[in-house]
Copies of this chain bind each other. A is one copy, B any other.
Amino acid sequence: MEELDRTATARLRQSGQRYTDSRAQLVHLLSTSDRPLTIPEILNERTGMPQSSVYRNLAVLEDAGLVQRVASSDDWARFELAEDLTEHHHHQICTKCGEVRDFTLPHHLETSLDDCLSSVATATGFTLQHHRLDLVGLCESCTS
C-alpha cells in the first residue's frame, strides 16, 4: 500500500500534480475493490467528495497513468487501477444490469494469446499497448 502511494506520488509529480488526500482516497478505494467502480459508487463510499472533484481527480489520475476507465454495457464510466498496478485480469460484463466483475485466465492461455496478438498488431502496423478480453453475458443475479 505504501508502495502504491509512492508510485502514485511519483507519477503525479511527473504530470506536475500533487498526491492529495482526495486522490489518495480514490486510489485506495479502487485498489481495495475487486471490480471497477462507477462514479455513484465512489460517491457513496466517499461521502463528502463532490462529483466534480471525483471526476476531475479521476481524470488527473488517468492522465498520470494510475487509473483507467472501463467500458461497460450501461452508460456509466467505471474506473479501476491501471493495469500495471494490479494483477492482469479481465472482466465479466452483465448485459442486463451493467455490473462488471474481475476474473483471470490460466497463464498459458494468456501467454499464447499475447504472442498471437503481438503478431497481429505488428502485421497491421498497430502499436499494441495492451489487450482487453471481456466476457459478455448475464451475471448470476440477472440469470432468472
Contacts and interface: CB of A to CB of B under 8 A. Distances in A.
B117 A135 contact: yes
A136 B129 contact: yes
Number of identical protomers: 2
A67 B116 CA distance: 28
Assign chain A's interface to a size class. 20 to 34
A42 B129 CA distance: 29
Counting chain B CB atoms within 10 Å of each CB, the highest count among A92, A93, A106, A143 belongs to A92
Contacts of A135: 117, 120-121, 126, 128, 131-132
B131 A133 contact: yes
Given A71-B71, A109-B112, A112-B109, A130 B125 contact: no
